[in-house]
Amino acid sequence: MREMALSRTIVLSVTILVFSLVLAGCTAPVQDSLAADWRLTINGTTEKVLTMKDVRALPPVNGHGYCVSTTGFRFGPYTCKGVDLRDLAGVAGGVGEGRQVWVSAPDGYLWVFDADQLEGRGFVTFDENLKEIPSPPLRIILMYEQNGTPLTYDDGGPARIAIISEQPGVITEGSAWVKWVDRIEIRE
Amino acid sequence: MRSVAIAILLVVSILLAGCSGSAPANKTLKVIAAGSLLAPFAEAEQEFEASHPGIDVQIEGHGSIQVIRQVTDLGRTADVIAVADESLIPDLMYRPMKNSSRNYTDWYRPISTNEMVIAYTNKSRYHEEISQENWYRILARPDVRLGFSNPMLDAAGYRSLMVLQLAEGEYREPLLFETLITDHFPSTITVSAGEEGTTISLPEIMRPSDDKVVIRDGSIYLLSLLSAGGIDYAIEYRSVAEGMNLSYVTLPASINLGSAEYAERYRNVTVILGFPRFATIGSERNGLPVVYAVTIPANAPNPDLAREFIGYIANESAKGRPGWPAPLPEGAVS
């Protein structure tokens, strides 16, 4: 009789704990479905549609990312993992000389990078105090992991643009960090 | 024993869910405002909170289009929207909200105006010489570095280009825009004159080819460069220059975008941006007098409080406080 009561208590306790964890937002199914439903269209000399699995199968790049809004609000610092934009463009024919990469999202936001920027040149960089510093080598990536975990929707997930460096504490202008990326076009 | 365990678990679960309610429930007024309003609104925040105990005013800044997009495209809620271009509210918010027949808003209130000036410091080259009569000749000198914000991101950026184009006609200097702007970009900036006026078409990437011109994403970065001597002059809003205690040259009303009287002349200049950064608004920006405006989104959580805050801002703006955008001329508001 006592064993039965104990087992009922355990079942009830586990139920309450699971309920509380769900209430506290400590479960991951939303995140999983975000990545599972996501598709990236890359339009170059050919058009390809990639899944998150396809993107993750490309060579990963890691680095430090940190950005600032036009009004001086800082986001980061983060450790970032993703795919170099040049490798992604390579899936649909690559970026030839003088071409541009147009990156857009379903919220209607668009940003354009030129070939120089794809090589990490031409960005303004700041230190932690927002004082301009000479730019270290930079890379533009499509980030899918931030601080070791899949990118959340609020942070622009499942995939967003990040400008990263090997050196921590380098801040770049946030206008290029397109959130919720779903389309990449290579244009003249 | 069993009931104690359950009670403990219930308390833990409620705490995990953040429902303990131990802190007093202050009301938060969410204000999303254009960057050039942040300094005056920070003052207003303190004053409004002091006279409204229990109210927490939270102010968030963006470029004006991004201010509106927080509500219309990104689905966030806000109590007050404040922008540096009154035309953006009808253009972007007089349309139905998602899953609703109500518009995001059907009204706005103009609250203040501003004008473009040439800001500088005592480190700026030729600062002892510059005046309202010769500013464009000083800026054209080869060793003078000029800064303005990115027209793709900031209304002050495309307004800077409009001012320089209007100055060509005002001073009968047909090569002024070319000398100050076009010659310093590797990608083509085209200026074409037609019956409708002058159109400046920008490339996708606004990156200068030399040190003569410097472009930054927002005013704060330009002002920091100006203070450090990285540029000599910046084209800025007058209220921003005043708020930062910078010296500045005022420009004639016919070109400073600050006077409703000259609205027709301003309209002669159009800037076409290099790409449509936002799908909800095109790439064309027309010359207009600078008018700041506020509204309350239809789904604002605290509309009554928002109305009170707007009333406060409007009254304070009308006083012409230092560092605030200027009051609207008498009779400008119906």
Residue among A144, A90, A85 at smallest CA distance from A119: A85
In order along its 188 residues, chain A shows pLDDT tens digits of: 455 555 565 555 555 544 444 444 444 455 678 899 999 999 988 999 999 999 999 999 999 999 999 989 999 999 999 999 999 999 999 998 889 999 999 999 999 999 999 999 999 999 999 999 999 999 999 999 999 999 999 999 999 999 999 999 999 999 999 999 999 999 98
Q: Which CATH superfamily is domain B25-113+291-318 in?
A: Periplasmic binding protein-like II (3.40.190.10)
The whole-angstrom distance between A175's CA and the closest CA on chain B is 8
Residue % of chain A over a pLDDT of 70: 84
Report residue B194: phi and psi, to 5°.
-145, -170
Token pair of B58, please?
């939270």
3-state secondary structure of B165: helix
Token pair of A9, please?
């208590």
- Rg of chain A over Cα atoms, rounded to whole angstroms, equals 21
Contact (CB, 8 A) for B104 and B297: yes
pLDDT of B19: 45
Token pair of B292, please?
């700041």
Cα–Cα distance for residue pair A161/A111, rounded to 1 Å? 10
Using the 8-state DSSP alphabet, how is residue A152 labeled? P
Dihedral angle sign, alpha carbons of residues B119, B125, B126, B127: positive
List CB contacts (< 8 A) between A24 and chain B.
Answer: 16-18
Residue among A26, A112, A174 minimizing CB distance to B275: A112
pLDDT of B332: 53
pLDDT of B6: 52
Q: Tell me the domain boundaries of chain A.
A: 1-29, 38-187
Contact (CB, 8 A) for A99 and A184: no
Q: Which CATH number fits domain A38-187: 3.40.50.2000, 3.30.70.100, 3.90.420.10, 3.40.190.150?
A: 3.90.420.10
Contact state of A108 with B279 under an 8 Å Cβ cutoff: yes
The whole-angstrom distance between B134's CA and the closest CA on chain A is 31
3-state secondary structure of B169: helix
Contact state of B17 with A108 under an 8 Å Cβ cutoff: no
Low-confidence residues in chain B, pLDDT < 70:
1-25, 331-334
Global confidence as pTM: 0.85
Using the 8-state DSSP alphabet, how is residue B96 labeled? B
Distance, CA of B125 to chain centre:
28
Q: Tell me the domain boundaries of chain B.
A: 25-113+291-318, 116-286
Structure-derived torsion over alpha carbons of residues A13, A14, A19, A24, reported in degrees to the nearest 10: 100
Contact state of A20 with B13 under an 8 Å Cβ cutoff: yes
Interface test with B, best of A11, A18, A175 (most B CBs within 10 A): A175
The whole-angstrom distance between B279's CA and the closest CA on chain A is 5
Interface test with A, best of B2, B6, B13, B278 (most A CBs within 10 A): B13
- Largest Cα separation within chain B, whole Å, is 92
The whole-angstrom distance between A91's CA and the closest CA on chain B is 24
Report residue A141: phi and psi, to 5°.
-125, 160
Instruction: Work out the angle at residue A118's Cα, subtended by the Cα atoms of residues A117 and A123, and round it to the nearest 5 degrees.
Output: 25
> Around B212, how many Cα atoms within 13 Å sit in the side-chain half-sphere?
18
pLDDT of A15: 53
Tell me how far CA of residue B4 lies from CA of A128, B165, B314, in angstroms. 51, 78, 57
Contact state of B204 with A132 under an 8 Å Cβ cutoff: no
Contact state of A122 with B220 under an 8 Å Cβ cutoff: no
Dihedral angle sign, alpha carbons of residues B103, B113, B59, A108: positive
Strand arrangement of the beta sheet that strand B213-216 belongs to: B213-216, B146-149, B233-237, B116-120, B247-250
pLDDT of A21: 44
List CB contacts (< 8 A) between A122 and chain B.
Answer: 205, 207
The whole-angstrom distance between B173's CA and the closest CA on chain A is 32
Contact state of B16 with A21 under an 8 Å Cβ cutoff: yes
Residue among B214, B200, B193 at smallest CA distance from B284: B200
Q: Which CATH superfamily is domain B116-286 in?
A: Periplasmic binding protein-like II (3.40.190.10)
Contact state of B74 with A9 under an 8 Å Cβ cutoff: no
pLDDT tens-digit readout, A45-94: 899 999 999 999 999 999 999 999 998 999 999 999 999 999 999 999 99
Asked if omega into A158 is within 30° of 0 (cis), the reply is yes
Instruction: Work out the angle at residue A40's Cα, subtended by the Cα atoms of residues A35 and A45, and round it to the nearest 5 degrees.
Output: 160
Same-fold call for B25-113+291-318 versus B116-286: yes
pLDDT of A10: 54
Interface test with B, best of A1, A9, A69 (most B CBs within 10 A): A69
User: According to DSSP H, which parts of B143-290 are helical?
Assistant: 155-171, 176-180, 219-228, 238-243, 263-266
